[in-house]
Structure formats: C-alpha cells, structure tokens
Amino acid sequence: MAAVPTVAYAESAPGCSSTVQIGSTAHVNSGGQTFASVKQFKGCGKNWAYLYVWAGYRNSHRTWDACVAVGDNSDRSLEGTQCRTKKAEIWSLGSNTLAHCTQAIGWIPDGPSAKTSERC
C-alpha cells in the first residue's frame, strides 16, 4: 500500500485571519521527491505567498533551506521574500500587489523552484 503524502492546509497569513487561496498549487521537486507545496493567497488588502515543506522531505533530511515570495509580473520583481532554514511553513510578507498580475514562487536557494498560476 502506498503512503499518502501529508498535505498542508494553510489557514491564514501572519497578522491576517481572512486569507483565501488564489490560483493553482505548485510543487517544488528535489532529488526525485516532492520538497514543498507553494500557494498564493489574498487577504487584508495584500497578496501572500506560502510554502510548506512536505513531511517526507523533512523526515529524510537533517536540514534544508527554502524561500518564498510574491512574483509581481508587472515589473518582474519579487515582493515580500522570506527565506528560512529547517522550517516546515514559510509565509512571505504581505505585498501591496492586488492590482497587479502575480504568482507565488517558492524555491531552494541555488536549486529548483516552482510557481503558481498567474492571477490578475
């Protein structure tokens, strides 16, 4: 019987209890396994990016680094970038980009990345 991967159910960004997911969920793959899920949320007048490192990856690695940001496609910038070491969940800072086309981007520094669908 195959194991079912643990799925993250992010509820709200830090300091904002009314976030809702927008766009698709993306997956960062590393070394043949799923490293993390990446999602974009909106709420409290801002866009937020969220990254969840899968339990299977956490259980098979002693340490890891990950980053997440809101990609603002109007000027091709990364907003609210947050990078952490050995954290299961990472939220970007809220970005004032609701009027722009955006997507959440998650990555391993100097490694693979993934981005959600663009939302305008």
Interatomic CA distance for residues 38 and 8, integer angstroms: 10
Residues 6+ apart with CB under 8 A from 58: 64, 88
Model confidence at 107: pLDDT above 50? yes
Predicted pLDDT at 10: 54
Task: Identify the sign of the CA torsion 15, 21, 23, 24.
Answer: positive
The whole model's pTM is what? 0.90
Domains of the chain: 22-115 (2.60.40)
Per-residue tokens: 62 = 């002693």
> Per residue in 27-59, pLDDT tens?
999 999 999 999 999 999 999 999 999 999 999
Predicted pLDDT at 2: 44
**Contact predicate 34/63, CB 8 Å:** no
39: helix, strand or coil: strand
